Amino acid sequence: MAQGGIATQYHLRGTIMTAGTHEPRARLRDLGIAIGRFAPGQWNAITDVPGVRVGQVTLVDGDGPLVPGAGPVRTGVTVILPHDGDIGAEPLFAGTHVLNGNGEMTGTIWIEESGFLTTPIAITNTHSVGVVRDALIAWEASNGNRPDISWALPVVGETYDGWLNDIDGMHVRAEHVWKAIETASAGPVAEGCVGGGTGMICHEFKGGNGTSSRVLPADLGGWTVAAFVQANYGSRHLLRIDGIPVGKLIPHADVSGTRTPVDQDGDGSIIVILATNAPLLPNQCKRLAQRATIGLARVGGVGADSSGDIFLAFSTGNRGLPDPASDAVQHPVAIGMVPSPWMTPIFEAAAEAVEEAILNAMCMATTMTGINGRTVHALPLARVREFAALRPW
């Protein structure tokens, strides 16, 4: 379906192939690289947490010189639905963490104050945050189970795609947000140049969206911990894949001949969403969100001065919590929690999932040409396979 001349794609699975890409893309495990010790879930995705669904709309249109308002367009929006009910009427416990704060995620002040996630989570480009936020409110008022909704503080995160995309053109519109919600599904999740990650750059290669999950063994609780990332950060020389200094081993001349122009090494941002069905309290969700930092660091993120590294974790392990804005509940509510000593393997699983999600984003992303003929090349997977085969571990 086309909206205003833009090629609009609703991604439930797969990825978009863009001009300049010839090498087939693959997820990290398809290259023979398995991160960490815990096994992934069925889809190795955030949708392995029961009830979680993901919808994405990708907007790609035009080539050549930048004409503000007309394109070229390389952007989109991603929506994560935290459970299969009305998140506003049945909130979840959640927590957030900021590694470096040159970025935005709306709604987090209320999460920190109340401990509740009360809206879907959307991720888009920096200049479309307001449109997406308003669209979430409009959708909730029109389609939710609370037609008398009087207030909402939607969660919308962003990373900057203005090196490839006409970011001032405001090409993400309300109908795209609604379509992402309406097409959200469980199962496989599209990765790479899709949804909000369409125009992103990671470690000076093409970046975008990625996901991964871990299932703890029964003796450690049996819970699922999963990550979804929109990766748009980092310097090439810092990139490591399962300990391999891939960024140093692939000179710029081997891929593009020149550096991808950035203002400073490491500029950019990353949004990380962590989900689990372990019954966590808000402070435990906050602690879980902090562990995204570990997975990011293993790949090569350092929280650069101008980077927006913002993380959110939520738990579906305490369903049936009352609407925090309701005055009807005037009695104690029974909840569950994981004892603190059991948190360590959950932390480990989160770090593994974040690390692999970032690398899945890079492995699945394709070479993309955007405004003014600017091209960002995909990570060369053949080289990654070669390096992986030489590992002594």
Answer whether 84's CB lies under 8 Å from 90's CB: no
Place of tokens 């960002």: 376
| Catalytic residue (one of 212, 213, 307, 315) | 307
Q: What is the DSSP string of 5-34?
A: TEEEEEESSS----TT--SPP--GGGGT--
- Which residues on neighbouring strands pair with residue 79, listed in sequence order? 55, 122
Answer whether 297's CB lies under 8 Å from 226's CB: no
- Which residues on neighbouring strands pair with residue 64, listed in sequence order? 371
| Catalytic residue (one of 269, 306, 315, 327) | 269
Phi, psi dihedral angles at 117 (to 5 degrees) = -95, 120
Active site residue 315: no
Q: How are beta strands 307-315 and 368-369 bridged, if at all?
A: unpaired
- Which residues on neighbouring strands pair with residue 324, listed in sequence order? none
| Catalytic residue (one of 161, 166, 267, 309) | 309
User: Would you tell me the crossing angle of helices 343-364 and 292-299 to the nearest 10 degrees?
Assistant: 40
Distance, CA of 193 to CA of 309 (rounded, Å): 20
The b/e string for 86-102 (b: 16+ C-beta within 10 A; e otherwise) is ebbbbbbbbbbbbbbeb
Distance, CA of 50 to CA of 229 (rounded, Å): 18
Active site residue 309: yes
Among residues 206, 265, 257, the alpha carbon closest in space to that of 237 is found at 265
Answer whether 193's CB lies under 8 Å from 58's CB: yes
Among residues 74, 6, 166, 162, the alpha carbon closest in space to that of 368 is found at 74
Distance, CA of 103 to CA of 288 (rounded, Å): 20
Active site residue 307: yes
The DSSP call for residue 126 is G
Residues annotated as part of the active site: 269, 307, 309
